[in-house]
Amino acid sequence: MPKVKFVKEKKEVEVPNGANLRQEARKAGVDVYPGIHKVLNCQGNGMCCSCRMNIKEGSDRVSKQGLWEKMWFYLNPIAFFARIGQEDNLRLSCQTTIHGDVEVESQPEFNWHGDKFWA
């Protein structure tokens, strides 16, 4: 079974192959949502972009980003700017399934100096 390490919380859990990252994080007691989004979120439908997580290790061992997720990263201004400097690894946890060992960072900080964005 794949292992998910939540680096900020220093928690590691085993999950079934194909498990949903957001659901497993919540089961593990990880605080998925920042601020007001603890109450106001889309319940895992991939539209509020508040469940962002940075895949620190093993981005090739999670599902690929689908069209729905890509679209919301462009439509939601906060998610758009949150991607700066984390274009390859920032994911919506509700739209991500796990297929191998990964390390993830919940509620990642903004990177206003992203190298790729401003290059």
Task: List residues near ligand FES by CB under 6 A.
Answer: 41-42, 44, 46-51, 92, 94
Measured CA to CA, the distance from residue 58 to residue 104 in angstroms comes to 9
Residue 118 beta carbon to ligand FES: minimum distance, rounded to whole angstroms: 26
**C-beta of 35 vs 118, nearer to ligand FES:** 35
Helices vs. strands in the chain: H and E counts, helices first: 4, 7
Residue 112 beta carbon to ligand FES: minimum distance, rounded to whole angstroms: 22
Residue 49 beta carbon to ligand FES: minimum distance, rounded to whole angstroms: 5
Residue 14: strand, helix, or coil? strand
**C-beta of 4 vs 51, nearer to ligand FES:** 51
Lookup: tokens for 46: 């991939």
